[in-house]
Amino acid sequence: MGCIVIEHFEEEQITDTDFGKNKPAHVDVHKAQRGIISLHSISVAAFENITIHTTRPGTTANKIDQIAGVRIKTSWGDHLVVFNDQPMDFSKAMDAACSHQKINEITTKMSPYWQQFGKQ
């Protein structure tokens, strides 16, 4: 099985009971912790497509944008929020990881939104 390298963000106000309801994620990219993790496809317990309400990166203005995203629940119970506005979205990357020994990457480096507004 392959894996997916994701750049994830800390989400404000999410509980296990909220997962699966496709509630929007609220991410303050100026304050939220972010990290990069490599997930084997078997480490993803579930995921859902969501809208991310985020402060615009690369500016001090208080502009809020709505971007396609995905909320991932790991097999150890963590929730990870990923910007999903990329040519190979998370669902396609999961399919490819499950069927091939391939590493796919879902990071802000590949996001059109982050290329337009963010600082790399």
pLDDT digits (tens, 9 = 90+) for 35-80: 999 998 889 999 999 999 998 887 777 788 999 999 999 999 888 9
Whether the CB-CB separation of 41 and 98 falls below 8 Å is answered with yes
Whole-number pLDDT of residue 120: 42
Residue type, 33: Q
Q: Which of 29-33, 50-54, 70-74, 97-101 has the lowest mean pLDDT?
A: 97-101
Indicate the pLDDT class of residue 100, thresholds 50, 70 and 90.
confident
Whole-number pLDDT of residue 119: 61
Half-sphere exposure at residue 103, Cβ-oriented, CA atoms within 13 angstroms: 6
Indicate the pLDDT class of residue 11, thresholds 50, 70 and 90.
confident
Count other C-beta atoms under 10 Å from residue 29's C-beta: 20
